[in-house]
Structure 1
Amino acid sequence: MPVPNTRFSELLQDIEPSTTTKTRASGGHTGIRDHLRTQAKFKDRYVTSFLSGSYARDSAIRPRSTSNGQERPDVDIIIVTNFSTDDHPDTVLKEVCKALEDGGDGYEVERINKRSVRVETWQAEMDIVPVASTWNGYMIPDRDTGTWKFTNPPVHTSWSSAQNTRFGGRFKPLVKLFKWWRRINPLTGRRPKGFVLEVLVGLHAPTGETHYGEAFAQLLENIYDAYGYHASIGQKPFIADPADGSNDILGKVSVAQWTEFIEKVRVYAGIARRAQDADDIEEATRQWRRVFGDRFKATATPAKASTYGGFAAAAPVAAGYTFPDAMAAPPAKPRGFA
């Protein structure tokens, strides 16, 4: 006896970033963008700016609480500049860092990352990413390699929006359920996460299923069916980036991380299936709480089910995946704890 769909709608409402969180995020990124746009020594570098990442795609879940109990969203800010690829990436990122720190309304920079500058305020945790325009996208400076890499964040945003349309408005809620499952059932390493999870939903979500529980169970089953065998022999696939078919979105995911993730998918696909096949709601609820944790309510309460509704058919996406001919050797050990 499946758990009513409204119970999944309740969970979705609960894991949604709060209005306060969204308001703080808006104030945080607006302040950063205005500062760089008007900063005396940087305003001639500044062309425009836009948001990227899950915040921009509306696929974010509620942030983890800080040590003082505050929820601070993670926001990616793209700053389009007139730097050129002839400029050294380290020089570019240091200039952005200085521009953020200078002035009466300057910010305290947390650190300079590989491709961004990190600023943490009471409102949000923000990665400021300088880019240079090119004819088909943007170039992003990589200080580790000293080179510029192609990127096109707006395509990710439009791709996600198109998927949501194809799913009748239910793609992003399913992505949020997938991200929540990933968070409360942690792996040894930090990856895969974020946009990789979104693409997996786009590739493997079921079609024509109106119940979120069944949709989620089938999603996990489909992912394992697609990758389980190859993961068992130490291989991970090439999964094309929707913004650049030559880019593998699993490029930063190690074989060890991928195989651990696929094993976790296998285990929880079984639990989700037991939840769907349970003879009574109490047992089904117990199994779903193993999948989604304590925020999945143990007793039914009224919910605005119309907020998320059923789950409609999804059309195939452009991204695809292939496996290499040679076996991939796993690293000596997985990355550290998230």
Structure 2
Amino acid sequence: MINLDEAFRKFKSRLELNDREQKNASQRHTEVREYLQTKFAVERSFLTGSYARHTKTKPLKDIDIFFVLKESERHYRNKAPSVVLDACYDALVEKYGKNAVRKQSRSINIDFGVVVDAEDNTDYRVVSVDTVPAFANGDDYEIPDTDTGRWIETNPDIHAQKAVTAHQAFSNEWKGLVRMVKYWNNNPRHGTDKPVKPSFLIEVMALQCLHGGWQGRFDYELQALFSTLADRIFDEWQDPAGLGPPISNGMDTARKTRARDLLRQAGRDASIAINLVRQGQNGEALKAWRALFGPKFPLS
């Protein structure tokens, strides 16, 4: 039987993308980017979001693709955000069909019809991507937001750099811990509604809530992180780039209350698992962590 540290390191490894997944992701996002260039005048396109920041968890879904439109498409910027998203939606429906394409508040999602099995495996394939139309605004970008009816500013480069800085300051364990909590957020026992939404909010909170440096214990760090996230879920969490609306605006009071309760329970479950190890019940502790996180947490 593996010990707890070995289990967590195996868990962390399972949440990292392997070569086959990266190859499939590359094929998929290249395909989408090349197709959109036939429909719009694109200045450049690039990967962003948690995939680009290496904080994406399993199963591999919703890889973000920014496609920055040329000045010749500026007429979209002068209209409501829904107009460019509708145009993007219509273009993608032509290729992938209506059942595979879904409008979101700032992007268009393409589902590739990949089935996720009971162990959260996808046969090394990407489930979906999100396409985000954008315009350059100096060193920053403007993207459509149908929730507010406005174009909002963002800068994925700043988000990425802050993640790198946090990771290095935490003995290169920060991204692994963030992926674990995001995986907990996906646990089917929560139902179809994730406790914390968007999942980027977990990452934003972790920039402040994971502090003091790595102490060498995954179990203690995660128990403390769940408890701190619960205590601070009602705080206002600004865009780390200092540009767009608060990231926490995506959750109303009812959602935050539910998230707080589930995060508190996760903290309690983590404490129980820690105590099982103290009692010499390593196997039971592993089962407790697996129940908390989901099927990617190993028992052996």
Please indicate the TM-score interval, normalised by the length of the shorter structure.
0.7 to 0.9
CA deviation after TM superposition for structure 1 residue 117, in Å: 2.5
Gap change, CA 1:5 and 1:48, over 3 Å in 2: same
Matched, 1:217 2:223: yes
Matched, 1:118 2:106: no
CA deviation after TM superposition for structure 1 residue 98, in Å: 4.7
Decide which of 45, 48, 62 is 1:49's aligned counterpart: 45
The one-letter amino acid of 1:154's match is D
CA deviation after TM superposition for structure 1 residue 26, in Å: 0.8
Gap change, CA 1:99 and 1:275, over 3 Å in 2: closer
Whose helix fraction is larger, Structure 1's or Structure 2's?
2
The one-letter amino acid of 2:255's match is Q
Matched, 1:133 2:122: no
Give me the whole-angstrom Cα distance separating, in 2, the residues matched to 1:266 and 1:151.
Answer: 31
Gap change, CA 1:16 and 1:201, over 3 Å in 2: same
Corresponding residue of 2:204:
199
What 5-or-longer segments of structure 1 have no aligned partner?
64-71, 300-338
Give me the whole-angstrom Cα distance separating, in 2, the residues matched to 1:140 and 1:285.
Answer: 43
Corresponding residue of 1:13:
13
CA deviation after TM superposition for structure 1 residue 159, in Å: 1.5
Structure with bigger RCO (C-alpha 8 Å, 6+ apart): 1
Give me the whole-angstrom Cα distance separating, in 1, the residues matched to 2:292 and 2:129.
Answer: 30
What 5-or-longer segments of structure 2 have no aligned partner?
114-125
The one-letter amino acid of 1:186's match is H
* 1:39-80 residue CA offsets vs partner (Å, 9 max, x unmatched): 2x52xx2111111221111111221xxxxxxxx632111111
Matched, 1:80 2:68: yes
The one-letter amino acid of 1:198's match is E
Cα-Cα RMSD: 2.7
Give me the whole-angstrom Cα distance separating, in 2, the residues matched to 1:171 and 1:157.
Answer: 13
Matched, 1:261 2:259: yes
Matched, 1:92 2:84: yes
CA deviation after TM superposition for structure 1 residue 151, in Å: 2.0
For this pair of structures, how many residues does the alignment match?
275
Corresponding residue of 1:178:
181
Contact 1:174 1:201 in 2 (8 A): no
Gap change, CA 1:35 and 1:294, over 3 Å in 2: closer
Decide which of 180, 193, 199 is 1:189's aligned counterpart: 193
Corresponding residue of 2:154:
151
- Which aligned runs of 4 or more in structure 1 are off by greater than 6 angstroms? none
* 1:94-122 residue CA offsets vs partner (Å, 9 max, x unmatched): 333455466xxx44461333332333336
Gap change, CA 1:144 and 1:166, over 3 Å in 2: closer
Gap change, CA 1:80 and 1:5, over 3 Å in 2: same
Gap change, CA 1:94 and 1:218, over 3 Å in 2: closer
Give me the whole-angstrom Cα distance separating, in 2, the residues matched to 1:35 and 1:294.
Answer: 36
Corresponding residue of 1:248:
246
* 1:164-195 residue CA offsets vs partner (Å, 9 max, x unmatched): 12112111100111112222241673351421
CA deviation after TM superposition for structure 1 residue 211, in Å: 1.3
Gap change, CA 1:20 and 1:166, over 3 Å in 2: same
The one-letter amino acid of 1:156's match is H
The one-letter amino acid of 1:173's match is G
Q: Secondary structure at the match of 1:197?
A: helix
TM-score (norm 2): 0.81
Give me the whole-angstrom Cα distance separating, in 2, the residues matched to 1:164 and 1:150.
Answer: 25
Corresponding residue of 1:297:
298
Gap change, CA 1:237 and 1:10, over 3 Å in 2: same
Gap change, CA 1:46 and 1:279, over 3 Å in 2: same
The one-letter amino acid of 1:73's match is K
Gap change, CA 1:188 and 1:148, over 3 Å in 2: same
Gap change, CA 1:206 and 1:282, over 3 Å in 2: farther
Answer with 1 or 2: which has the greater Rg: 1
Contact 2:154 2:243 in 1 (8 A): no
* 1:135-172 residue CA offsets vs partner (Å, 9 max, x unmatched): 24111123455431222222212221221121121111
